[in-house]
Amino acid sequence: MIRLGKLTDYGVGLMTRMAQDGAAGLTNARDLSGRTGMPLPTVSKILKLLCQAGLLESRRGVGGGYALARDPRQITLGDMVDALEGPVALTECVGDGDCNCAYLADCGLQQQWNGINRRLQETLNSVTLAEMAAEAACPSPQGKGA
């Protein structure tokens, strides 16, 4: 089951939320925690990671908070996944030229894996935060609760 972690899921949700808020600027973690229902420490952790990756900008001190560092159209899903989940690497041998697969000594699949991995990254990078926020703002009428 190829699945990304819950933190990533949550993180994308938080980013979407912030994008929908528009350029309202600073949003603090406590506020987001209250609005989404997820525990404050968890929100903090996620926002911090996103900030370290340069996707958010933080302002400390009393009136502080987080804000999107770039235009939502310049932030891709790939960026967020990268920030929260680490680099996309389908197998161990993706990335550098070293094939570490313990067994299958000379399997020679490294090139293929790299290619597939790259295509996957492109797919993720082709989705922007703006797109996710836009569609999320006008959900299909027969949504679950609404």
Partner DNA sequence: CCCAAACAGAACCAATTGTGTACTGTTTCA
Partner DNA sequence: TGAAACAGTACACAATTGGTTCTGTTTGGG
Q: Interface residues with ligand FES (CB under 6 A)?
A: 9, 13, 91, 93, 99, 101, 104, 107, 109-110
105 touching DNA, by CB under 7 A = no
User: 76 or 110: whose CB is closer to ligand FES?
Assistant: 110
Instruction: Yes or no: say if 28 and 64 are a contact pair by the CB < 8 Å rule.
Output: yes
Residue type, 97: G
Q: Name which of DNA, ligand FES, a copy of itself, none residue 25 binds, using a CB cut-off of 5 to 8 Å depending on partner kind.
A: none
Minimum CB separation of residue 20 from ligand FES in Å reads 14
* C-alpha span between 41 and 36 (Å, rounded): 13
92 touching DNA, by CB under 7 A = no
Write out the two tokens for 12: 């994308």
Residue matched to tokens 């299958």: 104
For the residues of 3-49, what is the DSSP string, one character each?
Answer: ---HHHHHHHHHHHHHHHT-S---B-HHHHHHHH---HHHHHHHHHH
User: 107 or 127: whose CB is closer to ligand FES?
Assistant: 107
Minimum CB separation of residue 76 from DNA in Å reads 20
* C-alpha span between 105 and 80 (Å, rounded): 34
28 touching DNA, by CB under 7 A = yes
Rounded to the nearest 10 degrees, the angle between the axes of helix 29-36 and helix 40-52 is 120
Size of the site for a copy of itself (CB under 8 A): 56
Q: Name which of ligand FES, DNA, a copy of itself, none residue 59 binds, using a CB cut-off of 5 to 8 Å depending on partner kind.
A: DNA
Per DSSP, the three-state class of 57 is strand
Q: Footprint of DNA on this chain (CB under 7 A)?
A: 1, 5-8, 10, 28-30, 39, 41-42, 44-45, 47-48, 51-52, 58-66, 102
